[in-house]
Structure 1
Amino acid sequence: MSEWQELLSSNLVFNHIPFPIIITDKDGRVVWCSQHAERAFHIKLDEVKGELYPFMRQEKAAQFKASWEKILRSRNPVRFENMEVHLHDGTDTVTTMVAKAFTSGSTRYVMTLFELDEFEESNTAFQELTSLRDGLSDSFMMLYFDKDHLITYANPLFLKTSKWTPKRIIGRPVWQMFADTPEDRQFVESILNTLESGKTWTGEARKMKKDGESYWVNLTAIPMALPEEEKYYMFLARDITKIKQFQDHLEEVAFIDPVTGLENRHRLEQIVNNAIQDGRHFSFVYLNIDQFYTLTDVSDPDVENELLTEFTNRLRMYFSDTAITRTGIHEFALVTPLSDWFIEGFVPYLRQHPIYIRGTAIPITISGSITRYPEDQQSFVHLMKASHVTIDKVKSQGGGSIAALSPDDHGRLNRKALIEKRLMHALDRNNMQVLYQPQVDILTGRITGAEALVRWRDEEAGIVSPEELIPIAEETGLIHDIGLFVLESVCQQMKDWATRGINLHVSINSSVREFRDKDMASLIQEHLDQNNCRPDQLTVEITEKFALEAEAERSIIRQMMLLQQSGVTFALDDFGTGYASFRYMQLLPISELKIDKQFIQSLSQQEKMPKLVSGMIQFGKSMDFRVIAEGVETNEQFEVLRTLGCDVTQGYLSGHPVEAAELERWLKSAD
């Protein structure tokens, strides 16, 4: 022991200073402490001599290094307020610390005085924080790093999980804990930028163990501060590797086709949307195996999976830098940067590399489409729609080829996309109107009713006919809004006509989607009641497709029956163009039959057409239906229909669709 150390130990003045004093060497290792320090810190000089910063926890001591250098350089005492100190009984407290560097001989020392009453009980709130920190350390991986992003401390749980040792990571960049890829470096940079802005970062992170194995954690990164405005940062992490592996398995089940190993339809949408978000140009290729069920039926039933697997292998061999997905039983979609000529070359490639299953060549051909982003379509939904349009066209021409959108197809799809875009705007502005096309009794020539037809004149799309509007409205789900608009308009018009003694029968069109709403019948009845309209003056027109689907849904039939009981009638529209099934004639409350205009307009052009139309009329009569012929444009057609016994005609010969006021003038002039 040096002379000054012996002097300090025996000097009653130093031992009677009412604050703990600890003297350390320039490295922070204890060389002497006062009796007050022994009592306050629960230590013995002989036991702590040579220890590094015994008054601080390990992680705090590492953070205190910069402050220690400041003390050694300063000629004046350095004061630290609210300093956290660690007692050897395991508790912590907060105090003010004054440190002064001095030189004895050629050796540099630091004397530290703690303004700590050795008999003062530790602050209760601070004890709670200490307990909280100890609990976190037991439950979470903890990593401290300084403002230069160098690791200063790692708790035992982190070291155990990551397989790192303190020697290998203390003083090393925090980047070392993550994978060394551009994506990971960018990810870590975003975390550090958040911390440096003073904000906490939370989320999932992939980290690396010492042996190069990756693992996943739920990470909370927290910015901290020491006295003298020194900053440091802390990672709190919990291992979620097993959870991530389970999630990956679920995703694999959800997104991977078990037969081919390709990603499926759900994943395809993500791939396309990611490519769009990244601003990439690509071709969306849709492929359909021609006569697939015929191919699989002519051989063993197990040939289906073998055929799909072999076809997938050829896709993978031919297309590189391409995302390949299976979107249906025999449908595949690709997202690729490859050119059209190369994509179209897959057809001859298949011929050159035939698929053999059990020694038999399978004559496989495909129909495909190429839709470019962003030149052709700008969203996943529209890319899919365009693909189906092109493939339908290819198949109608015999299949066996891959085609891009033609200029005409492109124009039609662009107009459809424009209508979809503008439709919501039109409904919001109530920018539609209802026109009425008169229906004329073929014997008396009098107008007995009218069909309500929705018309839309848009400043961008121009005039949109029902033939364009209704299918798009059904696809987008806006058919309910349009149907409600027509119903409200018709009921209000019928009420207005009734005040002037005009009792005209009006028919409206409806879709099966509207009647899937269990309140549809109540909605129609409610509007009739509100406007004091007679139910027997309203007809609801349905298509054969509607009728066929309604067969299987008792709730739809029930609603139709309720409306029929109140007086509302139903007409079967476009008769002859749909499904050849008459079962729904017995199940549904139909009382009118409307022969489609394509038959009427061919009456004088095709020899057998009058006989066909006559059969339709006679069939309707046998079912006690009122028969209406649509699309009547010439006197010759009118005379044939009158001869065949048709009841009512509707078409340009009788009148174009007009506004209610003009129809009212026609009715008055007829009287």
Structure 2
Amino acid sequence: MHNDTRQSQGVARTLSRREPQLHKPKILVVNDHPPSLLALKTMLCNAPLAEEYDVVTASSGPEALRKVLDQQFAVILLDVSMPGMDGFETAEVIHSHPWSATVPIIFITAHYADELNRLRGFQHGAADYLISPVVPEILHAKIAVFIELERKTMQLEQQKQTLALMNRDLQVQQMQELKRMNAALQAEIAERRLAEKRAHDLATKDPLTGLMNRRSLTEQLEHAIVRANRQGEKLAMLFLDMDKFKSINDALGHDAGDELLMQMAARLRGAVRSSDLVARLGGDEFVVLMEGLPSYTAAAEVAKKIIHASSAPFDVAAQSGIRTSVSVGISMFPEDGKTVHDLMRNADLAMYHAKQERRGSIQFFHEELNARLIERRQLEHELQQALENEEFELYYQPKVCVLTGEVVGVEALLRWHHPRLGVLSGGQFMPAATETGQVIQIGQWVISTACAQARRWRDAHDGFPNLPIAVNIAIPQIYADLPKVIYNALRDHDVPPSALQLEITESLVIRDVERATSVLREISESGITIAIDDFGTGYSSLSVLKALPIDILKIDRSFVKDLGKDLGDNAIVEAVVNMARALALRVVAEGVETEEQLAILRELGCDEHQGYLYSRPLPAHALEEQLLHAGV
């Protein structure tokens, strides 16, 4: 103890000779017992070095953690036995944080720690132990050591700052000389890099378009195959050939042909994903390499974008309206080849097949076509079984009045409980049904089922409202005696025409305006409401809309999703609403998901909204529960 006292006095003399610091070191005392906490604080405040440090207290582990995160401490006196988070746990958390990982901790315990407890303490970062009741002289001596350590640390930090300032001054003095010496070196490096880049570009890029050349594409494809094989992913090779390029080149000259190739290259870069690679093999042949594909559909979608981008007129050699297109052949890794040669060859073969079938089209490699044909036949068979096995179900999504919030109708949406693939939405199988003609039978089932549901709701005795049900109509249904199908369904289920609404897409109407107008007029005259669905995505004129016997325009969700963010969409929706008003039509907004969108639609004068903001599509029983619970 006397040695500790002499040590304390010696350290005190040393500290007294030090220059004042910018801030005092701090000691954190942690003890859940108020008298003990006060006693420790009093000892520290009465110590010979008391003026050299500040004392901070905490009565629990969590409080100590908060203070450690807010302040810097020279040493922590930590009681081992505390309720909840004890000293060991507190020490472990303190030392786990980078800010306080090196703070020394002195554990205070009410009994002599055995070897096991000492080991545990040191494992949790203990720097020392004190036995309670604490002897003031021992406490002062131990604290003095850590205070002096903190002082030394602060002094070193100040010295580092001083050296940094001196170094900065030296750097300023030497800067001009360094700049002069570096200028010549930088110029030489820049010239060398430029030369290297030119050499690299000549070796890897097409000089006309700036795209990758065949050599670079081959190298990239080799690396892509290795990555795809290792990660178990798909990649696609899109082989593109411009249609009628030779004729344009011969007619307008080679300079015009080169200009056309450069413009086509720019359009290709704009049509693909940022991660896709575009190359020119030579002539009018291009290749797109796509990695990380989830399915064939992703490759087909990019191919469609390419065809769409290339179909717009070109302005070449002072002549506008030059039209060409691209035919696209697609091979997939690993299904259509596992080597560069096989993938390139098969994509090329598919491209030639596309040209032979129809210019400006997409063709997957033939073996994949066979596989797709088998899959399509299987899907056709499964669709037929779906009707027989009653695997179809209608979900219903409410349509809500914008002003009152009242549910004024529902849209019937087809779902298929597929035995292999789970629940499928109509968009996942109706295209196949349309291609095979099964859409007519399925469409009849939808109309009949919707009428049956309308009858059930009308027969309900729990106050369920008589909501009109809207069903979607496909193109083949127009030509399959649709008025008679609807009449029979209404008659069989004894529901009035007002119970049913038809939704037809804008593109359906403009394909055969005369025939569509005739059929729809017959249906409209029977008292059934007709809506144009996905309005804004087609190209119907005002004269066509005026001639059609329609009652409702449904604004496509693509114009609704950015309301409030895209002023262009706000203007489009406002224009549609104003046009509908002029034609005495109601307006329904699809895909409404936020209150902000609804507020804008209300302000613009939209009549109804439909989307996830109010409800997802639900089975009939779930919709009933939701509406009855809401008191509709």
User: Shorter-normalised TM-score: what interval?
Assistant: 0.3 to 0.5
Q: Could you say which structure has the greater relative contact order, defined with CA pairs below 8 angstroms and 6 or more residues apart? A: 2
Structure with bigger gyration radius: 1
Q: Counting strand residues as a fraction of each chain, which structure ranks higher?
A: 1
Larger helix fraction of residues: 2
TM-score after normalising by structure 2: 0.44
